[in-house]
Amino acid sequence: MPGTLSFDDLKSRVSEGAIDTVLVCFVDMQGRLMGKRFHAANFVETSYNETHCCNYLLATDLEMATPDGYASTSWQSGYGDYVMKPDLGTIRPIPWLDGTVMVLCDILDHHTHEPISHSPRAILKKQIERLEALGFEAKMATELEFFLFEKSFDEIRKEGFRNLEPISGYNEDYHIFQTTKEENVMRPIRNHLFAAGLPIENTKGEAESGQEELNIRYDSALNCADHHSIAKHAIKEIAWQNGHAATFLPKWHQDRVGSSSHVHQSLWKDGQPVFYDPSEKLCQSKLMRHYMAGLIAFSPDYTYFLAPYVNSYKRFSKGTFAPTKTVWSVDNRTAGFRLCGDGTKGVRVECRIGGSDLNPYLAQAAMLAAGIKGIEDEMELSPPTTGDVYEDAKAQDIPQTLRRATETLRNSAFLRDVMGDDVVDHYTRAAEWEQEEFDRVVTDWEIARGFERA
Ligand code: ADP
C-alpha cells in the first residue's frame, strides 16, 4: 500500500515538478478539514515549519458564525491567530487532485506554542498519552456511512434542498448490482484513498436507498481519526467531481434510516490484543470488561461527542439499526454497544451510538477516557443484554435530545476531570449554540401544521 510521504520525498517531487500544491489542513470542531493551499515551493522552503489561521476557526459553527460565550476567543479579544504546525508525518498524496499533497497540522498558541487544549487533535492526543502511561495502545476503526444523491451539492442548494433523490431507487444493503451502478463514484473513492495511504478495506451498499458505507482497517487512534477526516472530505470531493452530492447528515429524512459512524475499539500491549483472554467466557478479558464498564457507564456524559447537532438525535429510533439504549450485547445490532469477534483474537467492542456527523477525534478521546476510567476503577461490567434491546424497558436510554446531552456534558464531573474544565465549557457552549440557533428558526413543519389549522 502506498503510504505517507517523507518530507525529503516531498522536496524531491516538488523539484521534479510533480507536486505544485500542498493542502495545509487542520480539523475543526465539526471534524472538517480547514486550512490553506500552499504553493509547494513555498511550503518546502519555509511554511513546513508553521503557518497561521484566525482563532475563530475553533469557535465557529457550520455556517462560520461568531457566537459569543467562548472563553478562548471573542470580538473583545480581537480574534487573533493560532499557529498551524504541520505534522510532517502526515504528508500524503491526494491523487484525486492534480499535483497535490496534504499535510495535517496541530493547533498551537500563537505566543507560547503550547497545544490549544480544545483543538480536537490535542484532545485525542491527551487521552492517548494517558492510555500509554497505563502501558496500552488503542486500535480503533470508524465506519463511514453516508448517502449519495443524484444531483450535485450546488444544484440541490439552489433548489432549496427539496425533492432530494438518492442515487438508487431501493434499499441497497449488501447489493452488488445496485452498487455496480455507483462504481463511477465509489471505485475512485476506494482507489484514491488507498493511494493516499489509507488502508481501505471495502465499500458496500447500506440499508437505505442511496446509502453507502466505507470501511477502513483499524489503526492507532490518531491514525484512525486522521484517516476518517481525510476519507470524509474525499468522499464529498470525489462525489462532487462526478456531479453528485454525498451527505453525512445523520438523518436526512424522517422516513429514512439514518447514517452512523460505529467505532470499533480494542487495546493492545507489545503488539498483542489484551481484550483477548482464551480462558475467559467469550474470550473477553478482565481488562476488556473494565474498559467496557467505563465506556457504558459514562456514555450519557459523552453522547454529545457522538451526536453534536439537533439532527443527530433524530437518528436514534427503534427498528432502524440505530440504538436507543446504552447497554451491551453479543453480536446484536439493537444495543448501543456490540461485542464483536467474540471467541477470537479480534474480540472488540463496537460503539453504535455515534452518527455520521461525529468528530472522530472527540468521539475517540471521550470513549478512551471512559474506558481508562473503567480500568483505573476496576469497574464491574453488568451481564450482556439479549434479544430486541429496543424493547428492553429496564435498559438505560441514550440522551434523546441535544438539550439533554448538553446538560450531561455540562454536569459531567468525570469529563471535567479527564478533559479539563476549559474543554468541557468550550464544547458545552458549542452545543448550546446549536440549540439556540435551531430554537429561533420557524420550521416548514410548524407552518404546514399550523398555518391554516392553528
Ligand atoms: P461490521 O460487521 O460491523 O461491518 P467488520 O468485520 O466489517 O464489522 O469490521 C468493522 C471494522 O472493525 C473494520 O474497520 C475493521 O478494521 C475493524 N476491526 C477489526 N478488528 C479490530 C480490532 N481488533 N480492533 C479494532 N477494530 C477492529
C-alpha cell belonging to residue 323? 440504538
Centre of ligand 1 to C-alpha 345, Å, is: 12
Gap from CA of 431 to ligand 1 centroid (Å): 30
Sign of the C-alpha dihedral, residues 221, 348, 190, 352?
Answer: negative
The C-alpha cell 504553493 sits at 39
Separation between Cα atoms, residue 87 and residue 222, nearest integer Å: 12
Q: Is the CB of 215 under 6 A from ligand 1?
A: yes
Distance 344 CA to ligand 1 centre (A): 12
* Closest by Cα among 305, 347, 342, 299 to 324: 299
Where b means 16+ CB within 10 Å and e means fewer, 39-56 reads: ebeebbeebbebbebebb
pTM of the model: 0.97
123 contacts: CB under 8 Å, gap ≥ 6: 117, 361, 362, 365, 419, 423
Tell me whether residue 169 is exposed, middle or buried, using C-beta atoms within 10 angstroms of its C-beta: 0 to 12, 13 to 18, 19 or more. exposed
Where along the chain do its domains lie? 7-116, 127-445
Q: How far apart are CA 396 and CA 297, in angstroms?
A: 10
243 lines ligand 1 (CB under 6 A): no
Distance 84 CA to ligand 1 centre (A): 33
Rg over alpha carbons for the chain, rounded to the nearest Å, is 22
Q: What is the pLDDT of residue 88?
A: 97
Residue 9 makes CB contacts below 8 A (sequence gap 6+) with 91
Cα–Cα distance for residue pair 313/403, rounded to 1 Å = 10
For residue 206, the CA-to-ligand 1 centroid distance in Å is 16
| Cα–ligand 1 centroid distance for 266 (angstroms) | 10
Question: CATH: 3.10.580.10, 3.40.50.720, 3.30.590.10, 3.30.70.60. Which one for 127-445?
Answer: 3.30.590.10
User: In Å, how far are 30, 77, 83, 308, 451 from 61, measured between CA atoms?
Assistant: 8, 19, 20, 11, 31
Going by C-alpha positions, the residue among 190, 222, 193 that lies closest to residue 89 is 222
Reading the block at residue 417, the C-alpha cell is 476531570
Here the ipTM equals: 0.93
CA of 247 to the centre of ligand 1 (A): 23
Per-residue pLDDT, 406: 98
Q: Is the CB of 266 under 6 A from ligand 1?
A: yes
- Cβ–ligand 1 distance for 346 under 6 Å, the answer yes
Q: How far is the CA of 279 from the centre of ligand 1 (A)?
A: 23
Tell me the C-alpha distance between 53 and 76, whole Å.
18
Identify whether the C-beta of residue 73 lies closer than 8 Å to the C-beta of residue 80: yes
Quote the pLDDT of residue 167: 97
Fold of 7-116: Ubiquitin-like (UB roll) (3.10.20)
Residue 403 Cβ contacting ligand 1 at under 6 Å:
no
Does any ligand 1 atom lie closer than 6 A to the CB of residue 199? no
Ligand 1 near 217 CB (within 6 A): yes
Please tell me the residue having the least CA distance from ligand 1 atom 5: 215
Tens digit of pLDDT per residue, the chain (454 long)? 567 899 999 999 999 999 999 999 999 999 999 999 999 999 999 999 999 999 999 999 999 999 999 999 999 999 999 999 999 999 999 999 999 999 999 999 999 999 999 999 999 999 999 999 999 999 999 999 999 999 999 999 999 999 999 999 999 999 999 999 999 999 999 999 999 999 999 999 999 999 999 999 999 999 999 999 999 999 999 999 999 999 999 999 999 999 999 999 999 999 999 999 999 999 999 999 999 999 999 999 999 999 999 999 999 988 888 898 999 999 888 899 999 999 999 999 999 999 999 999 999 999 999 999 999 999 999 999 989 888 888 888 999 999 999 999 999 999 999 999 999 999 999 999 999 999 999 999 999 999 999 9
Q: Which atom of ligand 1 is nearest to 140's Cα?
A: 25
| Nearest-angstrom CA–CA distance, 11 and 195 | 19
Element (H, E) at 192: helix 183-195
Q: Closest Cα to atom 27, ligand 1: which residue?
A: 218
CA atoms within 13 A on the CB side of 4: 14
Task: Compute φ and ψ for 434, nearest 5 degrees.
Answer: -60, -45
State the DSSP string of 112-170.
T-PBPTTSHHHHHHHHHHHHHHTT-EEEEEE-EEEEEESS-HHHHHHTTT-S--BSSSS
